[in-house]
Amino acid sequence: MKEIRLLIADDHPVVRTGLRGMFETDPSFVVVAEAADGAAAVASVAADRPDVVLMDLRMPVMDGVEAIRRIRAMPDPPPVLVLTTYDSDTQILAAIEAGAAGYLLKDTPREMLFAAVRSAAQGGSPLAPTVAARLLDRVGSRRHGAPDPLTSRELEVVNLVARGASNREIARNLHISEATVKTYLTRIFEKLNVADRTSAVTTALERRLIDLPHS
């Protein structure tokens, strides 16, 4: 079997070292690069062409979700497998919506992690059991007409809108592009069933999704 070339993106050096050591025990894997933040991960994908990216979510400079989105926008991108300690609905949904191939937690046993990476390399979508259960619950909620929740990043965007920030200011604040801000706003409008920024803020306040800006 062909070696699977890995990029490990995590802001904790101990975690990267531990994962590298774990994968180096199996000759079917080779760690070609490490990245300490999302921006470095995006650059490394372009330079090192890994077969699979292991991506943490909360990192400095650029978070994992935005890094996933940028990697998936590249020509012939590698699958990105989230490996994180966070299993909240908003984190899971944001990562999947950004294009993550799968979502695993850092307490995943070694052999399950190896199997998940092999699956992702072959086009699979491995999910931790708790994550799969949450996604099934979400599907069930959709079928019963429950409104889609805003992701954590969408809440950040609508909070900044409530404080009068322009798209450019939001992009600068969140370290994302203005095009990405527009995409978030489109999703926010759809989820809140509104047509403009003012209505989005009003509805978010009514639903207690955000707090009134402090003067």
Q: What is the pLDDT of residues 28-61, one digit of tens each?
A: 999 999 999 999 999 999 999 999 999 999 899 9
β pairing state of 80-84 and 4-9: unpaired
- State the Cα torsion 57-63-69-70 to the nearest 10°: -130
Task: Tell me the per-residue pLDDT of 96-136, one tens digit each, with 9 for 90 and over.
Answer: 888 888 888 888 899 999 999 998 998 888 877 667 665 65
Q: Residue 139: is its pLDDT beyond 70? A: no
Higher pLDDT, 178 or 22: 22
- What pLDDT was estimated at residue 213? 57
- What pLDDT was estimated at residue 102? 87
pLDDT bin (cut points 50, 70, 90) of residue 197 is confident
Mean pLDDT is highest, among 79-83, 125-129, 149-153, 208-212, for: 79-83
| Structural tokens at position 67 | 């890094």
- What pLDDT was estimated at residue 130? 66
**Domains (range + CATH), the chain:** 4-141 (3.40.50.2300), 152-206 (1.10.10.10)
**Cα 160-191-198 angle, rounded to 5 deg:** 45
- What pLDDT was estimated at residue 34? 97
The span from the CA of 56 to the CA of 86, in Å, is 9
| Structural tokens at position 169 | 């200011």
Residues 157-182: what's their mean pLDDT? 90
- What pLDDT was estimated at residue 144? 47
Q: 9, exposed or middle or buried, with CB in 10 Å at 0-12, 13-18, 19+?
A: buried
- What pLDDT was estimated at residue 19? 96
- What pLDDT was estimated at residue 138? 54
Contact present, 79 and 101 (Cβ < 8 Å): yes
- What pLDDT was estimated at residue 204? 86
Q: Residue 211: is its pLDDT beyond 80? A: no
The span from the CA of 206 to the CA of 1, in Å, is 56
Burial track 89-126 (b if 16+ CB lie within 10 A, e otherwise)? eebbbbbbebbbbbbbbeebeeeebbebbbbbbeebeb
